[in-house]
């Protein structure tokens, strides 16, 4: 997979040079997105059997981290497109080939079951409104989560939970709203989307809870929500690494008022940078360790234990929270210089705080993983 990483690395200078443009546009420009597509970066998690890269999680992490360091919005949209493609492994093989076999296809959407899908013969009739549709303007296919109804009755799983599925819509069946006016991850284009009376074949719907993989490979043993949390945390981690580098560059040149020494020569700067680097690298090491454990179980046992899944989610949350703290420290070390829109440190902080708000890495996830670690009975649906 070194060629994939090399293609990602080759795009970094352009991404860095276009960060302001991305932020102003509030989306990834179409031509830049096309280069991400050409590099194969949006198909990292598609089964190899239908032309995808089917990358091992650690290789995937390295690519997303690299892009997140260049620009968090670009890393985020790449990650969302890649994770959304995990559904391909759970569809009928021929359907998956038709929907995901095209190298130019771009997938995105929203997991949350904010829609309603009424069974109508061999189809569902789907209506719904969803927020947070990252990268949607560049997508050819969009996903929306919805609760299933039949003859007006909400369908439930054997455990009593609602039957929630992911539905695939062609982009021209979806109405996108230009309402992404936010303070962080501004360039992700994560606006709202809606569908009205959209007929979706049963074969174009997936349950992340009850359906089983149709393609072999340990990658698809990883829980979808765990992979989403992993991607979010890695974007945050790359962004934090970038913040440290931005501060180091500033510290070599800036002479704070009231002193003749540049920022890098001040003891406080030295201590805080060292502390931040240790925090970030420690969190990264924990994440890599938990990924390795889960990957070994997936390859050797064909399943990942509840404990390993909980550890992975805990590591993701820890990385995201630590990354936000590191960005805050770098912003504060930059002093008044950080206030200016021309400073990358203010964007790093805004992007870090936005990423840490995602429900997959927000503080409540600590309760979920803590229950598992304590042996308390727990709903594992989102683990």
C-alpha to C-alpha distance for 52 and 199, rounded to whole angstroms = 28
Q: From 64, 210, 81, select the one nearest 134 (Cα to Cα).
A: 81
Q: What is the pLDDT of residue 125?
A: 98
Q: What is the pLDDT of residue 218?
A: 96
Mean pLDDT of 48-56: 97
Q: Locate 361 and state its tokens.
A: 């890495």
Q: What is the pLDDT of residue 267?
A: 96
Is residue 107 classed as helix, strand or coil in its secondary structure? strand
Phi, psi of 138 (to 5 degrees): -100, 5
Mean pLDDT of 318-334: 98
Q: From 135, 129, 195, 188, select the one nearest 168 (Cα to Cα).
A: 195
Q: Locate 168 and state its tokens.
A: 């695939």
Q: CATH number of the domain at 2-90, out of 1.10.540.10, 3.40.30.10, 3.40.50.2300, 1.10.645.10?
A: 1.10.540.10
| pLDDT tens-place string over residues 57-99 | 999 999 999 999 999 999 999 999 999 999 999 999 999 999 9
Mean pLDDT of 300-318: 97
Say what percent of the chain tops pLDDT 70: 100
Report CA-CA distances (Å) from 115 to 122, 154, 215: 19, 12, 28
Q: What is the pLDDT of residue 333?
A: 98
Query: For the domain bounded by 107-206, which CATH number is listed?
Result: 2.40.110.10
- Is the pTM higher than 0.95? The answer reads yes
C-alpha to C-alpha distance for 357 and 153, rounded to whole angstroms = 34
| pLDDT tens-place string over residues 133-166 | 999 999 999 999 999 999 999 999 988 899 999 9
Mean pLDDT across the chain: 96
Q: Report the first-to-last Cα separation within the chain, whole angstroms.
A: 28
C-alpha to C-alpha distance for 344 and 250, rounded to whole angstroms = 10
pLDDT at 1 over 70: no
Q: Which CATH class is domain 222-373?
A: mainly alpha
C-beta separation of 335 from 250 below 8 A: no
| pLDDT interval class at 271 (50, 70, 90) | very high
C-beta separation of 143 from 116 below 8 A: no
Task: Give domain limits for the chain.
Answer: 2-90, 107-206, 222-373
Q: Locate 316 and state its tokens.
A: 């993701």
Report CA-CA distances (Å) from 157 to 147, 161, 188, 209, 381: 11, 5, 34, 9, 12
Per residue in 131-154, is it b (16+ CB within 10 Å) or e — as a string?
A: ebbbbbbbbebbbbbbbbbeeeee
Mean pLDDT of 173-195: 98
Q: What is the pLDDT of residue 381?
A: 82
Mean pLDDT of 212-216: 91
Q: What is the pLDDT of residue 79?
A: 98
Lowest-pLDDT range of 122-131, 314-323, 334-343, 373-382 = 373-382
| pLDDT interval class at 187 (50, 70, 90) | very high
C-alpha to C-alpha distance for 372 and 304, rounded to whole angstroms = 14
Burial class of 286 by CB neighbour count within 10 A (0 to 12, 13 to 18, 19+): middle
Mean pLDDT of 240-244: 98
Q: What is the pLDDT of residue 145?
A: 98
Q: What is the pLDDT of residue 380?
A: 87
Q: What is the pLDDT of residue 379?
A: 86
């Amino acid at each position: 997979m070194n060629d994939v990483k090399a293609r990602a690395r080759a795009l970094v200078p352009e991404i860095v040079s276009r960060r302001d443009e991305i932020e102003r546009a509030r989306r990834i420009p179409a031509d830049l997105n096309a280069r991400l597509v050409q590099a194969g970066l949006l198909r990292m998690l598609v089964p190899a059997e239908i032309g995808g890269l089917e990358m091992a999680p650690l290789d995937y992490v390295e690519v997303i981290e690299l892009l997140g360091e260049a620009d968090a919005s670009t890393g985020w949209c790449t990650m969302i497109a890649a994770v959304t493609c995990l559904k391909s492994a759970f569809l009928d093989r021929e359907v998956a080939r038709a929907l995901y076999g095209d190298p130019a296809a771009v997938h995105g959407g929203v997991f949350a079951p904010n829609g309603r899908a009424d069974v109508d013969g061999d189809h569902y009739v789907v209506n719904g409104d969803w927020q947070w549709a990252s990268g949607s303007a560049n997508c050819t296919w969009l996903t929306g989560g919805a609760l299933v109804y039949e003859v007006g009755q909400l369908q439930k799983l054997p455990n009593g939970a609602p039957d929630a599925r992911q539905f695939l819509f062609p982009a021209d069946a979806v109405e996108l709203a230009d309402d992404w006016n936010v303070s962080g991850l501004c360039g992700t284009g994560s606006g709202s989307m809606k569908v009205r009376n959209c007929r979706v074949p049963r074969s174009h719907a997936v349950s992340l809870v009850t359906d089983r993989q149709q393609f072999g490979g340990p990658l698809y043993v990883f829980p979808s929500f765990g992979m989403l949390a992993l991607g979010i945390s890695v974007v945050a981690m790359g962004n934090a690494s970038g913040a440290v580098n931005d501060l180091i560059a500033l510290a070599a040149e800036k002479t704070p008022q009231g002193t003749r020494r540049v920022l890098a020569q001040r003891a406080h700067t030295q201590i805080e940078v060292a502390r931040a680097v240790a925090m970030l690298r420690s969190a990264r090491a924990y994440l890599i360790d938990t990924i390795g454990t889960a990957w070994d179980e997936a390859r050797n046992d064909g399943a990942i234990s509840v404990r390993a899944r909980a550890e992975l989610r805990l590591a993701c949350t820890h990385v995201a929270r630590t990354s936000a703290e590191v960005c805050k420290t770098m912003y504060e070390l930059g002093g008044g210089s950080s206030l200016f829109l021309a400073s990358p440190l203010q964007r790093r902080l805004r992007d870090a705080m936005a990423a840490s708000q995602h429900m997959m890495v927000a503080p409540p996830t600590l309760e979920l993983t803590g229950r598992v670690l304590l042996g308390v009975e727990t709903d594992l649906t989102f683990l």
